[in-house]
Amino acid sequence: MRKAIFQDLKKIDYKKAWDYQEEIFNKVLTNKATAVSGCCNSEETDAGYILFCEHPHVFTLGKSGVENNLLIDPGFLGKIGATYYKINRGGDITYHGPGQLVGYPILNLELLGLQVKQYIYLLEEAIIKTLSGFGISSSRMKNATGVWLDAEESGKSRKICAIGVRASRYITMHGFAFNINTDISYFGYINPCGMADKGVTSLQKELGEAQDTEKVKEEVKGHLSELFGLRLEEAKTA
């Protein structure tokens, strides 16, 4: 079982978290290069990091996204307390905000023996297993990433977790956004993930009451650890 560092960044500005991801990404990449060069025993090399956080209102557009999927004028963003970033993950546009669990696994996929598609599948599986623990049946949707409820039922399908990743030299960045107590009205300002005909939901909406975010975090964390075969150790604080 590989070790990975777990860190909960709590509520953090999107750009600050993105910069921190880049810093960790470069660290994991350096560790990988050092192991490949034979400077250390690769069996002892850590697999990377898993970061959890929550962001203030923000819309992010992936590198393959369409700007028209932001349905409001950028000048209106300040009126709704939101920001907007074009970023280097895959996928189209999505929303992050209070009450949403955002996960950023920065992992060495080669060390874990995974291809990118397998990695995304396991991210989805962690959320599917978490939802099952709350009595909610969810699944994947054909030709789309993320986790959905009533995925194949026309007019009823709704996304509860978006996934958008970047992988360079088999090191991952970005990750998933799981709607727990999220104000889903903000998704009305975009075509979520470029899909104008699909709905969005949250754990709170499906269960009819606000949920204990810390409990949900622990469930997701446990499933990620199990599915990726990782021993998660808390980040050391200064």
3-state DSSP percent of the chain in helix, strand and coil, to 5 = 35, 30, 30
Q: Residue 176 and residue 113: Cα distance in Å, rounded?
A: 21
Q: Identify whether 193 is a catalytic site residue.
A: yes
β-sheet bridge partners, residue 139:
148
Long-range contacts of 66-74 (CB under 8 A, 24+ apart): 66/92, 66/93, 66/194, 69/93, 69/190, 69/191, 69/194, 70/189, 70/190, 71/188, 71/189, 71/190, 71/191, 72/189
Distances (CA, A) of 52 to 11, 21, 118, 177, 198: 9, 11, 21, 10, 26
Query: Chain-centre distance of CA 82, in angstroms?
Result: 19
- Tell me the three state secondary structure of residue 138: coil
Which of 39, 40, 161, 193 is flagged as catalytic? 193
* Six-digit token string for 93: 């546009």
Separation between Cα atoms, residue 3 and residue 45, nearest integer Å: 8
The set of catalytic residues is: 193
